[in-house]
Amino acid sequence: MVDFSTRGVAVAFRDNQLLEIFKTGYNILRELLNRQVPFNKSEQENRMKEMALSLFRNCLTFDFIGTTPDESGEDAGSIQVPSAWKAVFEDGTFLQTIFDCYREFGSPHSAKVMECLVQVASVRRSLFNEEERSKFIVQMMTGIRDILVVSQGMEDPNNYHEFCRMLARFRSTYQLNEIAEKTNYVEWIELVATFSVKGFSAWQWAPNSTQYLLTFWSKMVSALSHARPASASKLETITIELTRAYASSRIASVQPTLEQAMDDPLDNEDALLESLEMLANVARCKYDDSAACVISIFDPIAVQYRELITRATNGGLDANLKKLMAVTEQKLAWLVYIIGAFIGGRTAYLSSDDLDGLDGELTAKALHLMNVNQVWLSQRGPSGGCEKLESAFLFFFQQFRKSYVGDSSQKSSAVYSKLSEAFGLNDQNMVLSLIVQKIVTNLTIWSQDSSIISKSLRLFNDLANGYSSVKQLRKLDTTQYIMQNHGSKQFPFLEGGDNVASRMTYYSALAKVLFAEDSVEREFYEFMKPFEATFVELATLRSIEAFRQDPRILQGIFKDLRGFITPIQSKKNYMAFFDWFYPDRMPVLIHGLQAWGDDRLAITLLKFFAELVHNKSQRLNFEISSPNGILLFRETSKVLTTYGHILLNRPATSISDKYADKYKGISVCFTILTRTLSGRYVNFGVFPLYGDKALDHALEIFFQMMLSIPMGDMMSFPKLTRAFFGLLDVFTNEHMMAMPSMNADVFLYLMRALAEGVKSVDTNICSQACSCIDHLCTFVVQQSEKERPSSHWLLSFLNSSPGILPLLFSTVFNTVLFEDRPIQWSLSRPLLGLMLLNRKLPERREFLHKSLETLMEEVEWTNLSAKNRDRFTQNLAVFRRELNAANVSLIPPAVEYGAGMFGN
């Protein structure tokens, strides 16, 4: 996260010193290269090289525009060096000097030089004019060519890795046509292709470098539609060999990986999918040949797999055969992943019947293999299966779904012609049925494997997300079977403790399917019967001790119900659930909190309730004659007070467990209250009018929980901080001013929290804190303008503590002046109100008097209208620019402002 308080210093350093430091580093490297620096010992020379290269590299990795959150993100984009650096890069000897350093400096310095070249290749292309850019590209290509011709330093894995990075960054920075128009392009691209093919094959040499080679080629082919015919033809030919080399190398890696217990790329699915996406871009460039290449690798291994299954079925699975099966299944897993990536790489507007027909051929291969595997699994169970192969099938179906199932797919696509010939699958409805059958099989056979369950349910949920696909899904017999038999008897994964998180996904998908049609009242009550039976069972428990017997039942049902109501958007569907749940089932939740309030199970109950009171898409708009809004808030108050009192009376926990044991529950309580206060479905004025204490009790427990948290902790746990300031933003808008009074400790805590929030480096927290201060200032200004000034408690507090408003003003003003925040509009909102309430303050700042006069130019001192606020925001931007242009340096307070007023 960017620290805005130091950004101004960094900008001044960039503008005034950094270029000279960079030149110094470069000059030292040149002197070292030319041996102009005498050394007594080789160790001194090596140390000098190390330090000079580090200086050179660090100058280029400087965060020039304040957007790089950390050094790990350096591969994301070009380096935005200032225009003042242009002369250095346009110097004809600059690039050659760096390449010469690579050639002359031995290991490990050569790898450091290559790191510098990575950064040089990333310098923004707009730094150069067209002519200079062309010269720079030629020099880069020449340097790369010279290295490739003799494989200079490529025996060092660090050199090799950084060289691959440089290739990727070079192509990311410069366009294909700019590279392809150079006279030595054909030789150059052939050398890079040969290098890449060898790199794919030598997968053990530098496995993490493959990603950069794929990045280079993916970006090369992505611009083919704009390339000249000659360069396009050359690239298309190269892509076939690249596809073959990559697929073959993955197959070759399987046996050594298993035998030597090496890191398996299939275990890191995020990196795997990123690589496969780039491979698909390359392969679809010349898709007919690439597809034929993969099929030629796939077919012999598939035949071998069937033979191994036959042997195992007839003669049993001995140790040797088991080993062969494992190797073969993992090879097939790689190929299914690759096929899935190819199909997922389809672009609808670029596709044709021929390309879709190729997808159909590859799909047929994967489905046939799945059928063979399914027969084997039915005989052996999950103990005879391969998790990685199952994951590959699920990935394949996800990619097929994206390309051929849903709203935008063409029902008459040529892919279905191929599938009709092979399996009788004539359209996407039939394929959809096959996918759902596979999901059901996984949910039963793989019930103990949380990874397969999670991926299967993710696929099911994604199918349920599409407008047309969910309607098709709902009509399938298999889906209807799930809807009518969704409990743990039919799907034992629901009993597994490792699948708790997946339960929500499961019921979220089922809710989408259930409510895909308009009139589902009868089906809804039929669907809820298993839940109803569980609630009936729980209702028979007459004591808190009885509720403490088995937490799995409570945890399971409220996880399931939370998943079920989360996707509900319409008022009609929400009311169906609300009427079913309230009031008959609500006591179970309260009793559960009473029994498990000191246990983390309570978080499950609270999160369900937070979803229940969430008025997203206006689904909680009760009828005007309905008391449900008031009744629901009474339950909210009961939930908060029940849990809050148990929590506050709990013994202190260790520092390491503080969040999980205490603050996590408080965060959810803050969220519940935020959603209730902002839901606009409760008329809170009714409660004091009729002497109902529900609102008072809810706010009182909020204050008690808040005061139990030290300010340092409140600002240190991100989820807690976000929940707290989200609640404050809502609370200070209307509800705080409607209170008849407020405890002084609560008020001072809130004021200190607002000051801390403004200083937060999280822009959302800062914005919300500013919004809260604006709410307070607006109220005070409006009250002050009345003919009969109000005696409101807020005004009394501010009069009795005259330092609060100046403190808030100085905090906001210091943030505006000394920190380069991207939320000037948010900061300006409270600042005008604070200035109206601190009118004498500008006169006390004589050295800024003139600038501050412009700040209030054409701004009225009497109101906070939208027009007045907008004018002030414009003036504030001018004010900051004037200070910067005049090089006015303001010294911020030496201490944390506000700490003395509120204590530690």
**Binning pLDDT at 50, 70 and 90, where does residue 64 land?**
confident
Identify the helix (H) or strand (E) that includes residue 115.
Answer: helix 109-121
Coil, strand or helix at 207: helix
The answer to whether position 248 is within a domain reads no
Domain identity same for 669 and 773: no
Say how far apart CA 265 and CA 509 lie, in whole Å.
Answer: 30
Query: Does one domain contain both 611 and 756?
Result: no
CA angle, residues 438, 439, 443, in degrees to nearest 5:
120
Residue 895 lies inside a defined structural domain of this protein: yes
- Same domain assignment for residues 827 and 868: yes
The predicted pLDDT at position 72 comes to: 38
Looking at the predicted structure, is the pLDDT value of residue 424 above 80?
yes
Domain boundary among the residues 685, 708, 731 is at 708
pLDDT of residue 411: 58
Same domain for 755 and 895, yes or no, is yes
| DSSP annotation string for 714-748 | HTTSHHHHHHHHHHHHHIIIIIHHHSS---HHHHH
| Coil, helix or strand at residue 79 | strand
- Looking at the structure, tell me whether residues 686 and 609 fall in a common domain: yes
Q: Look at residue 161 in the predicted model and tell me its pLDDT.
A: 95
The pLDDT value given to residue 896: 44
CA distance 590 to 646: 12
Domain boundary among the residues 708, 731, 760 is at: 708
On whether both 666 and 545 belong to a single domain, the answer is yes
Give the single-character DSSP code of 516: T
DSSP 316: -
Q: What are the C-alpha distances in Å from 118 to residues 164, 593, 777?
A: 9, 57, 52
Q: DSSP state, 91? A: S
| Residue 836 banded pLDDT, cuts 50, 70, 90 | confident
Mean pLDDT of 475-491: 93
d(CA 308, CA 760): 62
Q: Read off the tokens for 526.
A: 């039929």
Tokens 């396009």 belong to residue:
232
Closest CA to 272 of 246, 235, 237: 246
At residue 810, does pLDDT exceed 80? yes
- Which helix (DSSP H) or strand (DSSP E) does residue 229 occupy? helix 229-259
Q: How confident is the model at residue 67 (pLDDT cuts 50, 70, 90)?
A: low
* Displacement of CA 467 from its chain's centroid (Å): 24
DSSP per position, 614-641: --GGGTT---TT--HHHHHHHHHHHHHH
Q: Which of 529-538, 665-674, 781-790 has the lowest mean pLDDT?
A: 781-790
Residue with tokens 């996707």, as numbered in its chain: 567
Nearest in space to 302 (alpha carbons), one of 290, 294, 313: 294
Q: Is residue 285 in a domain?
A: no
State residue 350's pLDDT score: 78
Same domain, 551 and 694: yes
CB distance 175 to 223 below 8 Å: yes
Residue 60 has pLDDT above 90, yes or no: yes
Assess if residue 782 is contained within a domain: yes
CB 566 within 8 A of CB 544: no
Beta-carbon contacts of residue 531 (< 8 Å; ≥ 6 apart)? 557, 560, 561
> Residue 129 — φ and ψ, nearest 5°?
-80, 175
Q: Which of 708, 726, 761 is the last residue of a domain?
A: 708
φ, ψ dihedrals at 123, nearest 5°: -65, 135
Pair 831, 787 in one domain: yes
Average pLDDT over residues 873-886: 72
DSSP per-residue letters across 134-200: HHHHHHHHHHHHHHHHHTTTTTSHHHHHHHHHHHHHHHHHS-HHHHHTSTTHHHHHHHHHHHHHHHH
Report helix, strand or coil for 760: coil
**Domain tally, the chain:** 3
Of the candidate ranges 521-525, 788-792, 894-898, the one whose mean pLDDT is the lowest: 894-898
Instruction: Give the whole-angstrom CA distance, residue 667 versus residue 868.
Output: 37
Distance (Å, whole) CA 188 – CA 146: 10
For residue 789, the model assigns a pLDDT of 67
Looking at the chain, the whole-number percentage of residues with pLDDT higher than 90 is 65
Tell me if 635 sits within 8 A of 691, measured CB to CB. Answer: no
What is the distance between the alpha carbons of residues 833 and 309, in angstroms, rounded to a whole number? Answer: 78
371 or 74, which is more confident?
A: 371
Tens of pLDDT, residue by residue over 155-202, are 999 999 999 999 999 999 999 989 999 989 999 999 999 999 999 988
Cα separation, 443 vs 297, in Å, equals 31
Cα distance between residue 799 and residue 41, in whole Å: 74
Task: Look at residue 410 in the predicted model and tell me its pLDDT.
Answer: 57
Other beta carbons less than 10 A from residue 652's beta carbon: 8
What are the Cα distances from residue 371, in Å, to 394, 400, 434? Answer: 14, 17, 11
pLDDT digits (tens, 9 = 90+) for 663-701: 999 999 999 999 999 999 999 999 999 999 999 999 999
Containing structural domain, residue 887: 739-903
Decide if 453 is inside a domain: no
Radius of gyration of the chain (CA): 33
Whether residues 664 and 534 fall in one domain: yes
Q: Which tokens hold the place of 413?
A: 């696509």
Distance (Å, whole) CA 733 – CA 779 = 9
692 inside domain: yes
Rounded (5°) CA angle 336-337-340: 85
CB 396 within 8 A of CB 335: no
| 819 and 701 in a common domain | no
Per-residue pLDDT, averaged over 340-355, amounts to 88
Give how far Cα 898 sits from Cα of 724, 749, 816, Å: 20, 12, 17
Under a CB-based contact definition with an 8 Å cutoff, are residues 295 and 362 in contact?
A: yes
Residue in the block written with tokens 């029994």: 595
Whole-angstrom distance, CA of residue 83 vs CA of residue 126:
9
- What are 102-142's pLDDT values in tens digits? 999 988 999 999 999 999 999 999 999 999 999 999 999 99
4/132 same-domain check: yes
- Asked whether 795 and 780 are in contact (CB, 8 A), the reply is yes
pLDDT at 902 over 90: no
Backbone phi, psi, residue 79, to 5°: -95, 125
Judge if 704 and 807 occupy the same domain.
no
Peptide bond before residue 530 is cis, with ω within 30 degrees of 0: no
> Is residue 895 pLDDT above 70, yes or no?
no
Tell whether the torsion through CA atoms of 38, 42, 46 and 48 is positive or negative.
negative
Residue 843 is predicted with a pLDDT of 39
Q: What's the chain's average pLDDT?
A: 89
In a domain, 257, yes or no: no
891 pLDDT band, cuts 50/70/90, is very low
Q: DSSP character for 761?
A: S
Q: Is the residue at 532 inside a domain?
A: yes
Contact 125, 172 (CB under 8 A): no
Give dist(CA 172, CA 169) in Å, integer.
5
Q: Report DSSP letters for 407-466, one per residue.
A: TTS-TT-HHHHHHHHHH---SHHHHHHHHHHHHHHHHHHTTT-HHHHHHHHHHHHHHHHS
